Structure 1
Amino acid sequence: MRVQIIAVGTHGDVLPMVAIGVELALRGHAVTLAAPAPFAASAVRAGLSFHALCTQAEYDRLIGTPNLWRPWRGVQTMFEAVASLAEPTYRWLAAAQATGGSVVVASTLGLGARVAQDKLALPVVVVHVTPFLMESRYAPPRLPGLPLPRLLPARLRHWIGRGADRYVIGPAALPILNAFRGTLGLPPVQRLRHWWNLAPTLILMFPGWYAPQQQDWPAHALQVGFPTADRLGDTPELPEDLVAFLRAGSVPLVFTYGSGMRQGRSFFETAMRICRRMGRRGVFLAPQTGQVPSNLPPGVIHVPYAPLTALLPHAAALIHHGGIGTVALGLRAGVPQLIVPVAFNHFDEAHRLKALGVGTSLSRRRFTPARGARVLGRLLASHDVAAACQLLRIRAAADDGIGEACDAIERAGGLQVGGR
């Protein structure tokens, strides 16, 4: 079976799709990954063929846009960018189909795959990695920059959330997307968050214990476990200097603000002061040195990237932005988490961690050295938090999200599970 994988986004969006590609290749399928140019190296290390959907410069320009990291402006900026990728994605898929059919697997933002499904009747599998993408009248996700009281009826919160389609998502994405669809003779999309769920196969890569299935979710949606994919990133192992650091002292706090963040300076400055105030060692993960203060004290180390599956077993707590990939790896490691949300799904993931009893959140404004140290101190001292972390660590370890997703993809391609 030939499989074309479309992955649009940052590490948390792309690496799960790389992991799916690796597993499918191990099952004997021919896999090609199409993603932004910066992920070419990850694809090559994983043994996958690669096609760039945009250049390194185009990707850096988007990631470096300050508005991307604001609750509502970030949504607008992102959807304008991903809508512009729909046409090159479609053109690549259409050209590949001329040499023979294949199954198409697309991340949420790979909109060109859904266009190809509508125009070319391709077998398309859409993969959502966060429950934030699932609308529900019974359990609506928490939207960025819109802290609605939980006392409001769920249906009212859902109705208010639908305004995001009309006033934010639609105006950003639909003019570009529908203009392209018009050139293909396709009708316009009315509501993006409904349309992207119309793929024949819809995979939700988060377990039911994290986000229980709702009765108004699409009936054909298949919920599987979290993916584990961070070793497919910039390096599969811990850097030597980090290994030496971990061996040299007490268990550290781990701070990261995500692979795509370019405005994390104040976060890491606060993190440095928290470590000093608490007398704790710290590990700062940030891809650019400009985000991290140059005068780090002894006991604090900065590394551009480290796989959390290898690092977190040596950590006391994880402090981060709230990306679903980071959340999932923190749950798998059984460490308390403090989220300082930025935009997108971060606020919803923070709410879910609090409900599970394994973490809490502070707004960027409230994330100060004194308050951050107090909150972390309470998390680390709580027996209830420790017990909840260990329970969910066991649950997460039992999940095989990648394997279950690949089983569904094989079924979509008309094969028996296992590639036979």
Structure 2
Amino acid sequence: MSHVLLLPYGTAGSIYPFVWLGRLLRQRGHRVTLVTAGVYRETVLSAGLEFAPVEDDELEKMLHNPMMWQGDVGSLVSYRHAGRSTAGYVKAVEKLIANGGAPDLMLAPMICFGARLLREKLGIPLVTVHLYPMMFVSAHEPPLALPGFRLLQMLPLWIRKAVLAFPNPLDFFALPAVRTCCAAHGVRKPWSLWKQWWHSPDGVLALFPEWYTKPQPDWPKNLLQWDFPLEDMVAECPLEPELEAFLEAGEKPVLFTPGTGHFHANRFFETAAALVRQLGYRAVFLTRKPEQVPENLPDSIFVTRYAPFSLLLPRSRAFVHHGGIGTVAQCIAAGIPQLMVAMALDQPDNAGRVERLGVGLGTRMGRFSVRQALPLLQRCIEDNGIARNAEQLAARMNPRRDTAPLLAWLEEHMGNPATR
């Protein structure tokens, strides 16, 4: 039996795709261990996977940092904490190896630098898993990672290549901690994470379909592009009875969430409450931190910590959310319009792509006020073109693809690292 390690880093939206991969691999007969922050222990175990905790609190520190979701600064905060998590991931995996031997394959996002360090140190094959298109940073289709990239998209290709050839600023925030960990483990230090460690030489898996983003000439050649995972733990977390009763009691609500990792969203929910009050709609607020929502909300607004989107979205009018790729995918699958209030990381890029597909609209958190958001939400709900496009794209996601070719591709990489 082959042993596969999954090493996600981030919020629930980053964990669930790896749970989906883990389920598939386990059903195929492989042993699967998910290595990540301890807060996800019950989630992983309930999915039937083995769990190994990363014994540091860098993730919680990152999520409690109020700068995390403030525009371009958020990426810097994220990469700084990811760099500091490198040693914790290495320690957790080496503990597993000491107790049971080396794994046959690792799957990890680029931001889990510990996985790449272990590949360089021990020769364990590594497949880099990209959950959203922004991670390819293509000169042929520059992502909207920064506000200036809208202008970059309009410039000639040779200028785009020249701009993207400059050092990635994120290196300066993650690289010091990564290089310190490399020195401690006798691994050659990378001079640039962006140039050397972004994509694994062994393989790259993109978990979004070609109709969402077409592959570009400067993407890595050892690539498999697949569909959205759409994992939402529905088998383990059905709709709570109180929410079920709320949905049955009236018209379809509008959903609002700033994302599971946003711990500073008081203003977001204040604006949301004012929006639905003016429009006369019912609403569901989703947040891991219910203390963020205003007090004394009317009975027309239901607050919950979590609900599986595959059950909730088809019974909803529209979704106002942060623009995380998992939420975007679930909205498309449900065929409902979406208004994305992008803040940082991949969110602005996802919002731009959804607008181009014609299934939703986007804005920035700094512009999320009742005056500016009201006409956008009204258009999302009332525009027949958006509704028609959403229905057509939802049809493209059903039926789901047979995952046998994906699993066969992963199995080809087990115990067979690329020649260096």
Q: Same fold (TM over 0.5)?
A: yes
Preserved CA contact (<8 Å) 1:224 1:401: no
The structural deviation recorded for 1:298 is 2.7
2:395 alignment counterpart: 394
Q: How does 1:11-50 map to 2 (within 5 A)?
A: 11-50=12-51
Q: Within 2, Cα distance between the matches of 1:371 and 1:256?
A: 18
Q: Within 2, Cα distance between the matches of 1:399 and 1:191?
A: 38
- Quick one: which amino acid aligns to residue 50 of structure 1? F
2:143 alignment counterpart: 141
Which stretch has the larger CA shift, 202-211 or 121-130?
121-130
Preserved CA contact (<8 Å) 1:275 1:281: yes
Query: Relative CO higher for 1 or 2, CA cutoff 8 Å, sep ≥ 6?
Result: 1
Q: Within 2, Cα distance between the matches of 1:158 and 1:347?
A: 21
Which stretch has the larger CA shift, 218-227 or 393-402?
393-402
2:204 alignment counterpart: 202
Q: Work out which of the residue numbers 142, 150, 154 in structure 2 matches 1:151.
A: 154
- Quick one: which amino acid aligns to residue 79 of structure 1? Y
Q: Does 1:52 align with 2:53?
A: yes
Preserved CA contact (<8 Å) 1:231 1:309: no
SS in structure 2 of the partner of residue 231 of structure 1:
coil
1:87 alignment counterpart: 87
Q: Does 1:214 align with 2:209?
A: no
Q: Within 2, Cα distance between the matches of 1:334 and 1:270?
A: 25
Preserved CA contact (<8 Å) 1:86 1:110: yes
- Quick one: which amino acid aligns to residue 138 of structure 1? H
**Alpha-carbon distance change, 11 to 146 in structure 1, aligned in 2, over 3 angstroms:** farther
Deviations 1:90-134 (A, max 9, x none): 233334345434211113322111111111111111111000101
2:414 alignment counterpart: 413
Q: How does 1:21-420 map to 2 (within 5 A)?
A: 21-55=22-56, 58-98=58-98, 99-101=100-102, 102-146=104-148, 148-149=150-151, 150-153=153-156, 155-157=158-160, 159-160=162-163, 165-166=167-168, 168-194=169-195, 195-231=197-233, 236-400=237-401, 405-413=406-414
- Quick one: which amino acid aligns to residue 219 of structure 1? K
Compute the TM-score of the two structures, normalised by the length of structure 2.
0.92
SS in structure 2 of the partner of residue 66 of structure 1:
coil
Q: Within 1, Cα distance between the matches of 2:277 and 2:42?
A: 37
Preserved CA contact (<8 Å) 2:5 2:32: yes
Identity of aligned residues (%): 31
Deviations 1:329-379 (A, max 9, x none): 111111111111110001000000010000111222322213222111112
Q: Unmatched 5+ residue regions in structure 2?
A: none
- Structural RMSD (CA): 2.1
**Alpha-carbon distance change, 25 to 267 in structure 1, aligned in 2, over 3 angstroms:** same
The structural deviation recorded for 1:88 is 2.5
SS in structure 2 of the partner of residue 259 of structure 1:
coil
- Quick one: which amino acid aligns to residue 85 of structure 2? L
- Quick one: which amino acid aligns to residue 201 of structure 1? G
